[in-house]
């Protein structure tokens, strides 16, 4: 079990550019969550999947954000037309459906210049 992995670990982009992050969950986990964390705050929920179905999206997830999990395995989070306020750590977690402790990946730190 290699745990949850996220790529890239760091991303620097210019305002207005699109970025995409990838999360690979623990292999047998059918739930996958995305969170965002800004400096000094706890992580905030963005969205989650059960298998390939996106079951809930936070109001934080504006229409510039889109997440997919096409085959129920890895997931991608895309941010279009990035803004400086998007600068944050983007965290992915996975769990089993029942009694599911969430295990987090190392995160992708995004800096929008």
Partner 1 sequence: LAKTTQPISMDSYEGQEVNITCSHNNIATNDYITWYQQFPSQGPRFIIQGYKTKVTNEVASLFIPADRKSSTLSLPRVSLSDTAVYYCLVGPNDYKLSFGAGTTVTVRA
The residues that touch partner 1, with contacts defined as CB under 8 A, are: 4, 31, 33, 35, 40-45, 48, 56, 89, 91, 93, 95, 97-107, 109
Q: Minimum distance between the CB of residue 106 and partner 1, rounded to whole angstroms?
A: 5
- Exposed/middle/buried for residue 113 (C-beta within 10 Å: 0-12, 13-18, 19+): exposed
Q: Minimum distance between the CB of residue 86 and partner 1, rounded to whole angstroms?
A: 18
Tokens of 83: 């803004």
Three-class DSSP category at 86 = helix
Question: By C-beta, is 56 or 78 nearer to partner 1?
Answer: 56
d(CA 105, CA 29): 13
Q: Minimum distance between the CB of residue 90 and partner 1, rounded to whole angstroms?
A: 10
> Is-contact 67 77, C-beta < 8 A?
yes
Question: By C-beta, is 19 or 34 nearer to partner 1?
Answer: 34
Lookup result for tokens 């989650």:
48
Three-class DSSP category at 4 = coil
Question: By C-beta, is 19 or 105 nearer to partner 1?
Answer: 105
Question: By C-beta, is 80 or 100 nearer to partner 1?
Answer: 100
């Amino acid at each position: 079990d290699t745990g949850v992995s996220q790529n890239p670990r760091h991303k620097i982009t210019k305002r207005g550019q699109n970025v995409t992050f990838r999360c690979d969950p623990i292999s047998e986990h059918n739930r996958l969550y995305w969170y965002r964390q800004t400096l000094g705050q706890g992580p905030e929920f963005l969205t989650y999947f059960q298998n390939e179905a996106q079951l809930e999206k936070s109001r934080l997830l504006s229409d510039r954000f889109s997440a997919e999990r096409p085959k129920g395995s890895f997931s991608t989070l895309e941010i279009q037309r990035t803004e400086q306020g998007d600068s944050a750590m983007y965290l992915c977690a996975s769990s089993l459906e029942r009694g599911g402790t969430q295990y987090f990946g190392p995160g992708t730190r995004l800096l929008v210049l």
